[in-house]
């Protein structure tokens, strides 16, 4: 899962650009589009979701497979190397073909995978690379969905999450090489004792030959070596270490090398590491032993035309906006984000709650909001979220931790958003997943994000987790517009969670849809004025509950949703910024509040 890197022993070739593109209208196997140059004249940008790039409703609403294709040349100098195509994301399922040969399939739309090319194409050779991508969601995928086949034979996708089901190759694609003997994985855990930073590392390599060894060095930001060790696992102590702090990032570089018996360099790979600790104690969330208060956002990867396509300009601008407003954190709601985003957060000291794509495991939300599907069914049942779904969910946790474990910015894993944790079956479903997450990463706390139906009286799983993360919409979905009732009930609930569980509470969502430019003397819902009053009400409550250690508003920016609902007009409008990142009136209010919070911390 190591991200491809250009180093003295590894090469990296970008395959981003404009690829040939086609919908697969029949079955993928029957059409076998990988066996020839794609017909038709469509071309699609990579990285980008394909849905909003074209004007055709057939493409926008397509359910099933699409194909991306381009020609690729293997560099001549790679005769001693192994080489792979890395797909950073194929949403939600990808198949890779090198010329006529099927190489690999990957399920899960937001984590990377590789297709090995070495045996199939010689160095200097050219090949036809076809990536088939499928966007279908069923009851055994994460996230889940239901596919209806209409009388016309057309498929219609329903899903239980409130963001558009963007699909395609939304992140970069690479061709990269590694030497035959190479570093396969690096795992780093850090600790702090007094002023000494402790770096525990574990380097996995391919099988090494006689006399071949692993060496590790740690360099500081001035490129000065501050620690060295030999062997595939061990501990490096850094006296007077500079800690990675929220708002004050400091990154060391851990470089893992494989050397031959005569000392020649066989492979070298490095990761950025931040030395810091994370701990939950009582109702406090501690980073480096100091109480931390989360300010910031639930976000989305979402922008016009690109959909979920990673765009470095949007990324940098979003972090600028977060800095401007005093946000020290965000949650990767509701799926792992591009690795560039995690790297950026590492470098800039932004704290991240990292989430799996397990969103929409809840038929009650569905029956309320999404056309009533599943009204009388129960979520945790053989017909809906079953053992196969749980196996897919476990895979999504494994892949998330494998990809992101070394990021200092990540302080909490969120393994699901708003599952039906008030329904029988929830505990049996979640117990093994929590145990799995802890076994994969014993160093970070684990959370799930709680939905309003599962309150402190009837939730069945909250004690399994370290932190209480709540999504609440008092004053919006509940007691719409009545902020007096909302305030009382919101406070009662927060105090109930505190009394019952004695854990830190983070508000991971609260918000109100707001149409930019709509003003009201009467605080009418949907107006910018109401959004301000709504947040002021919530913040009065937050300030009265000491166990509350974080407020991440919903959402950073307006974002696209499925169009098939009467309560969404061109998307979800709960953004603090519009979809093109212009501030609503609330932005100045949050800036004042959070800037003060950061000063007080
Ligand atoms: C939620 C969901 C989020 C929705 C939000 C809303 O609870 O977690 O995905 O977008 O509510 O605005 O309804």
Q: How far is the CA of 13 from the centre of ligand 1 (A)?
A: 39
* 428 domain-assigned: yes
Q: How far apart are CA 33 and CA 29, in angstroms?
A: 8
Residue 429 sits in the same domain as residue 552: yes
- Tell me: cis bond preceding 272? Omega within 30 of 0 counts: no
Q: Is 174 in the pocket of ligand 1 (CB under 6 A)?
A: no
Q: Is pLDDT of 263 > 70?
A: yes
Residue 255 sits in the same domain as residue 297: no
* 221 domain-assigned: yes
* 2 domain-assigned: no
| Confidence (pLDDT) at 277 | 98
Q: How far is the CA of 555 from the centre of ligand 1 (A)?
A: 9
* 3 domain-assigned: no
From 179, 196, 225, the end of a domain falls on: 179
Residue 354 sits in the same domain as residue 408: yes
* 7 domain-assigned: no
Residue 271 sits in the same domain as residue 284: no
29 is catalytic: no
Mean pLDDT of 21-43: 95
Which SS3 state, helix, strand or coil, does residue 257 take? strand
Count of the separate structural domains present in the chain: 3
Residue 127 sits in the same domain as residue 217: no
Give the contacts of 271 (CB within 8 A, at least 6 positions apart).
Answer: 186, 188, 253, 254, 256, 406
pLDDT in tens, 365-417: 765 555 555 556 799 999 999 999 999 999 999 999 999 999 999 999 999 99
pLDDT in tens, 93-141: 999 999 999 999 999 999 999 999 999 999 999 999 999 999 999 999 9
pLDDT in tens, 478-519: 999 999 999 999 999 999 999 999 999 999 999 999 999 999
Residue 266 sits in the same domain as residue 357: no
Return the CATH number at 246: 2.60.40.10
Catalytic residue among 81, 423, 509, 551: 509
Of 88, 599, 511, 576, nearest to 338 (Cα)?
Answer: 88
Mean pLDDT of 339-347: 98
509 is catalytic: yes
From 179, 203, 226, the end of a domain falls on: 179
Catalytic residue among 418, 487, 493, 551: 418
Residue 195 sits in the same domain as residue 170: no
Residue 88 sits in the same domain as residue 196: no
Work out which ligand 1 atom sits closest to the CA atom of 452.
7
Residue 371 sits in the same domain as residue 439: yes
Q: How far apart are CA 100 and CA 103, in angstroms?
A: 9
Work out which ligand 1 atom sits closest to the CA atom of 511.
12
Residue 252 sits in the same domain as residue 358: no
* 411 domain-assigned: yes
* 6 domain-assigned: no
From 116, 147, 179, the end of a domain falls on: 179
Residue 266 sits in the same domain as residue 318: no
Return the CATH number at 323: 3.20.20.80
Domain around 499:
279-600
The overall average pLDDT reported for the chain is: 96
Return the CATH number at 26: 2.60.120.260
pLDDT in tens, 230-242: 999 999 999 999 9
- Tell me: cis bond preceding 555? Omega within 30 of 0 counts: yes
Q: Hey, which of 449, 572, 575, 576 would you mutate to test ligand 1's pocket, going by the most ligand atoms within 8 Å of its Cβ?
A: 572
* 435 domain-assigned: yes
Residue 194 sits in the same domain as residue 119: no
């Amino acid at each position: 899962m190591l991200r491809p890197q250009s180093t003295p022993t590894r090469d990296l070739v970008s395959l981003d650009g404009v690829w040939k593109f086609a919908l697969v209208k029949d079955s993928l196997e029957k059409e076998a589009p990988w066996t020839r140059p794609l017909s038709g004249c469509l071309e699609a940008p990579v990285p980008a979701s394909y849905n909003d790039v074209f004007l055709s409703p057939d493409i926008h609403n397509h359910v099933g497979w699409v194909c991306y294709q381009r020609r690729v040349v293997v560099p001549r100098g790679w005769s001693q190397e192994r080489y792979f195509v890395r797909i950073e994301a194929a949403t939600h399922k990808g198949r890779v073909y090198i010329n006529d040969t099927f190489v690999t399939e990957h399920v899960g739309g937001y984590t990377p995978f590789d297709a090995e090319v070495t045996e199939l194409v010689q160095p200097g050779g050219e090949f036809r690379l076809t990536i088939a991508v499928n966007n279908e969601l069923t009851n055994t995928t994460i996230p889940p969905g239901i596919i209806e086949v209409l009388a016309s034979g057309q498929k219609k996708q329903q899903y239980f999450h409130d963001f558009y089901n963007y699909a395609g190759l939304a992140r970069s694609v690479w061709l990269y090489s590694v030497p035959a003997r190479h570093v396969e994985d690096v795992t780093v855990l850090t600790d702090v004792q007094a002023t000494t930073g402790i770096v525990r590392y574990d380097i996995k390599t391919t099988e090494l030959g006689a006399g071949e060894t692993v060496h590790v060095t740690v360099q500081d930001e001035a490129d000065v070596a501050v620690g060295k060790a030999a062997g595939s696992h061990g501990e490096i102590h850094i006296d007077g270490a500079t800690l990675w702090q929220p708002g004050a990032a400091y990154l060391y570089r851990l470089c893992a090398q494989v050397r031959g018996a005569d000392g020649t360099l066989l492979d070298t790979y490095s990761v950025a590491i931040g030395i810091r600790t994370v701990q939950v104690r009582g109702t406090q969330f501690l980073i480096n032993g100091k109480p931390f208060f989360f300010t910031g956002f639930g976000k989305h990867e979402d922008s016009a035309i690109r959909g979920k396509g990673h765009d470095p300009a949007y990324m940098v601008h979003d972090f600028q906006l977060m800095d401007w407003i005093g946000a020290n954190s965000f949650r990767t709601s509701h799926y792992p984000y591009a690795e560039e985003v995690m790297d950026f957060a590492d470098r800039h000291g932004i704290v991240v709650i990292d989430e799996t794509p397990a969103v929409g495991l809840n038929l009650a939300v569905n029956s309320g909001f999404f056309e009533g599907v599943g009204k009388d069914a129960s979520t945790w049942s053989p017909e809906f979220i079953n053992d196969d779904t749980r196996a897919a969910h476990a895979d999504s946790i494994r892949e998330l931790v494998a990809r992101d474990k070394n990021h200092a910015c990540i302080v909490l894993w969120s393994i699901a958003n708003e599952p039906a944790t008030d329904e029988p079956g929830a505990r049996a479903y979640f117990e093994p997943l929590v145990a799995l997450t802890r076994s994969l990463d014993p160093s970070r706390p684990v959370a799930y994000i709680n939905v309003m139906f599962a309150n402190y009286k009837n939730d069945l799983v909250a004690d399994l987790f370290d932190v209480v993360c709540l999504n609440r919409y008092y004053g919006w979905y509940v007691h719409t517009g009545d902020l007096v009732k909302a305030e009382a009930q919101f406070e009662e609930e927060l105090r109930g969670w505190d009394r019952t569980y004695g854990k830190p509470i983070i508000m991971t969502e609260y918000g109100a849809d707001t149409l930019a430019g709509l003003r009201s003397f009467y605080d009418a819902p949907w107006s910018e004025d109401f959004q301000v009053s709504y947040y002021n009400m919530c913040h009065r409550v937050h300030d009265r509950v000491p166990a509350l250690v974080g407020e991440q508003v919903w959402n950073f920016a307006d974002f696209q949703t499925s169009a098939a609902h009467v309560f969404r007009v061109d998307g979800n409008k709960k953004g603090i910024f519009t979809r093109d990142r212009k501030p609503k009136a609330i932005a100045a209010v949050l800036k004042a509040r959070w800037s003060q919070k950061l000063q007080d911390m």
